[in-house]
Structure 1
């Protein structure tokens, strides 16, 4: 490769910062980076306009494109966003929901679309661990604190036996939750009523950290939300490009991890977070030195679980495999 130009859409996380600020270079590439007001802006521009050569993309958005036969881009096993999601389930305290099983028969809001990345995981966990199926509830799709109809730039399939409707015009799901118009809400974005400590709302799992740590200890799964995709026509012209992009994202992440490690010497005083160092050590004890791995093999169980959930929830007609959705050059990572 000879300094090819790439337009990259990516969010600025701590672990991508070295890449976005130029500290880390993609070998043989002159890269320019763009972001958005919210992460879904990048998704929309990539899906609707093919605006980037390389872009961060939610797993569910990527799979929906594959389902409709759009194979213009393919994923690299880079996972810039992952979160435990027991903490993403919010309830109205007057709804009668005291345990996960009580969600059956309730009306539940969901952010963005039925089966967004932070929705596929909780639904799958509720089904696997508590026997609660999506078809047992009613679903309303919108945004947390402002009116937003469901995303219109990707297909939104759902099984016929699942009741899914758009949010009423002018309504926000966080407000509806606080007012008791919906019983629960699943969202990557905590609604303002939760952040402000309204007594009318709570989390389904109040001690979610302990629940999520137990989940990881039982399963070894640290849920993946997003991947990185690249235009397939570029890979045909530049055979080493997939490896180069992968290595650069890995290097940027490794720099962030090393900062965490070296800053423990100074008790992480840069973080403005008391007791950050013991939290860091607690996480290392549970999850190992690299709790945020890239590559397929270190993430195969997590990826296979997401793909199963995506299929079981009626979001795909086909049970996808890792070998079908990632570039062949990186199968052994």
Structure 2
């Protein structure tokens, strides 16, 4: 650390791709990252989008889109923090019945929050790939949106505080639930979408879409006043990712063009589900972040 380094107040958890940043292995003579103390990082999302409390950091892509649509002073960097295919993230209890996408009409499906990014991806896939009428499902949720000025649709119901999605699946109070990375190794739980990994592979081969989860954003005043700092942040993120030693298929590609189809799709899904109004991919960036590659 030197006296000339610019402090950047940052919301960013430690993942494989950010570990080298968090432990100081990747550093810069231009800036130093001062990390906000939120564990997990999504506890800081509300402060980020409502108060612009951080100069830079991670947000769930749907949270960012909703905030941007409502005028939050944030711009996207083409530097995904996390991404994964989502077809496997909705489960049901096979002890009760067989449940396929075409069987979801009239059912109760649990999801942490209606605006949760995993939920938006999965609902979009169900609607656009399997013809599910999202309005004909009761979505049982437990948290509200991170952004202000958002009203949930009338087919959203609130679960009781402290309830667990897995337990509700097993006791029959939910027909299906979005579990994602919280899917337990339980033989009773099966995925609503059959052969989800093959389905995701075929979907990607047809669409070129890699579902993003968390993305990196900066406050627009930082980008306007110090574009050199924003470019340096991008370099540091890129270097930290390279040090993670990732192998195989890259679910976090860098660059605007590499993410354009994905961003077009999540914008489309978010509009279909009433989360945002009209929005174009290029509006998510400014002249500085759009030029990063």
1:132-177 CA-to-partner distances (Å, cap 9, x unmatched) read 12112111102xxxxxxx1364244344xx5001112442222111
User: Could you tell which deviates more after superposition, 243-252 or 300-309?
Assistant: 243-252
- In 2, are the aligned partners of 1:167 and 1:173 still within 8 Å (CA)? no
- 1:328 deviates by 1.9
Within-5 A mapping of 1:288-307: 290-307=250-267
Q: Which residue is 1:320 aligned to?
A: 279
Q: Which runs of 5+ in 1 are unaligned?
A: 143-149, 261-279
Q: Which residue is 2:159 aligned to?
A: 167
How far, CA to CA, are the matches of 1:186 and 1:102 in structure 2?
16
1:240 partner SS: helix
- In 2, are the aligned partners of 1:295 and 1:330 still within 8 Å (CA)? no
TM (norm. structure 1) is 0.79
1:229-275 CA-to-partner distances (Å, cap 9, x unmatched) read 2122222321322211112111111222xx34xxxxxxxxxxxxxxx
TM (norm. structure 2) is 0.89
1:230 partner SS: strand
1:27-57 CA-to-partner distances (Å, cap 9, x unmatched) read 5112222453223123134234533211101
1:172-209 CA-to-partner distances (Å, cap 9, x unmatched) read 2221111110101114342xxx514152x322246332
Q: Which residue is 1:195 aligned to?
A: 184
- 1:117 deviates by 0.6
Alignment CA distance shift 1:293-1:182 (3 Å): same
Q: Which residue is 2:125 aligned to?
A: 125
Q: Which residue is 1:209 aligned to?
A: 197
Within-5 A mapping of 1:223-262: 223-256=211-244, 259-260=245-246
Greater relative contact order (CA < 8 Å, ≥ 6 in sequence): 2
How far, CA to CA, are the matches of 2:19 and 2:223 in structure 1?
25
- 1:125 deviates by 0.9
How far, CA to CA, are the matches of 1:92 and 1:17 in structure 2?
37
CA RMSD of aligned residues (A): 2.2
How far, CA to CA, are the matches of 1:245 and 1:27 in structure 2?
12
1:47 lines up with 2:49 in the alignment:
yes
Alignment CA distance shift 1:291-1:123 (3 Å): closer
Q: Which residue is 1:69 aligned to?
A: 71
Q: Which residue is 2:270 aligned to?
A: 310
- In 1, are the aligned partners of 2:211 and 2:262 still within 8 Å (CA)? yes
- 1:302 deviates by 0.7
2:109 partner SS: strand
- In 2, are the aligned partners of 1:303 and 1:322 still within 8 Å (CA)? yes
- In 2, are the aligned partners of 1:109 and 1:139 still within 8 Å (CA)? yes
How far, CA to CA, are the matches of 2:151 and 2:65 in structure 1?
12
- In 1, are the aligned partners of 2:222 and 2:230 still within 8 Å (CA)? no
Q: Which residue is 1:177 aligned to?
A: 169
Count residues with an aligned counterpart: 288
2:205 partner SS: helix
